[in-house]
């Protein structure tokens, strides 16, 4: 299972980033235009909040497990979540967590 988590983390990093970079290349304004697009209608705003809440819940889980177990490498899931996305951060954390099991 460990390698499945790593493959999903890689996919979760590359696939969404492809769409983000494509959008920024086609639209002037770069990152700020991309963030504005996340709030263009109620549907995208709801999805943005859904992913934000999931990212916060994942962060709390990572902290609550990694600190008591002194699994410092597991903390890499937090920047992966907020810099790339939950689709990368969650499977990356599960990959790093599986090494201590």
In tens, the pLDDT along 35-80 reads 999 999 999 999 999 999 999 999 999 999 999 999 999 999 999 9
Q: Is the pLDDT of residue 20 over 70?
A: yes
Q: Is the pLDDT of residue 101 over 80?
A: no
Domain ranges of the chain: 2-98
Q: Is the pLDDT of residue 100 over 90?
A: no
DSSP the chain: -HHHHHHHHHHHHHHHHHHHHHHHHHSTTHHHHHHHHTTSSHHHHHHHHHHHHHHHHHHHHHHHHHHHHT-GGGGGHHHHHHHT-HHHHHHHHHHHHHTT-
With bands split at pLDDT 50, 70 and 90, how would you rate the model's confidence at 15? Answer: very high
Residue 101 in 3-state DSSP? coil
Distance CA 101, CA 89 (A): 19
* In contact, 92 and 80? CB cutoff 8 Å: yes
Number of alpha carbons in the 13 Å side-chain half-sphere of residue 67: 7
């Amino acid at each position: 299972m460990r390698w499945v988590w790593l493959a999903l983390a890689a996919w979760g990093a590359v696939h969404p980033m492809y769409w983000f970079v494509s959008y920024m290349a086609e639209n002037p304004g770069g990152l700020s235009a991309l963030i504005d697009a996340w709030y263009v209608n109620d549907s995208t705003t709801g999805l943005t909040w859904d992913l934000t809440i999931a990212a916060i819940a994942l962060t709390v889980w990572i902290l609550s497990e990694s600190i008591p177990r002194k699994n410092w490498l597991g903390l890499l899931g937090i920047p992966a979540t907020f810099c790339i996305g939950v689709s990368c951060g969650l499977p990356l954390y599960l990959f790093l967590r599986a090494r201590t099991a």
